[in-house]
Homo-oligomer: A and B are copies of this chain.
């Protein structure tokens, strides 16, 4: 039993590893752009993520929601970015000794699964655009995520920045709704 996980072919031109984003807004715009293109191209849900080296601003790996495209409920934007970043670095953690700090930018607050995955990934910073209520307004369920869940990550040394460019991410949700996109597991 072998499973192959791929990105849609359009991702590479938009978000090739090594691309440099100069600040938080540029990093988040890339994550939101991935979400938007995923809707426009019809390759998945309205969610995009990207993992960067914090200091250099270099993109390590992008991720887009791939649940329906690859028939795989685990493949949210965040888990895809995490798995690809770790694969590129050949490491099961992005927070290993001697590594530069890594951060995860995501166009929407992580669901319960992805919040857990964020912890195990070893990223030191989680930056979020749209919030849980925005996703739920679109009728996506976020699962069992509580204030205490975020507090747990913070205690483990993950800095959390909510609602950066939230409006731009909300626009992608609106677009998805207009296009009648699938609400899987709603």
Contact = CB atoms under 8 A, between A and B. Distances in A.
A160 interface: no
A146 B148 contact: yes
Contact of A143 (B3, B17, B61, B116): B116
How many copies the complex holds: the figure is 2
A7 interface: yes
| Chain A, interface SS category | mixed
Contact of A116 (B17, B83, B116): B116
A92 B112 contact: no
Nearest to A185: B120
A21 interface: no
A83 B149 CA distance: 25
B87 A121 contact: no
Given A120-B113, A120-B185, A144 B143 contact: no
A121 to B, nearest CB: 5
A111 to B, nearest CB: 6
* Of A4, A61, A112, A115, most B-chain CB atoms within 10 Å: A112
Interface stretch (A25-33, A72-80, A125-133, A171-179): A72-80
A152 interface: yes
A115 to B, nearest CB: 7
Interface of A: 1-7, 12, 17, 61, 67-68, 70-74, 79, 82-84, 86-93, 111-117, 119-122, 141, 143-144, 146, 148-149, 152-153, 156, 184-185
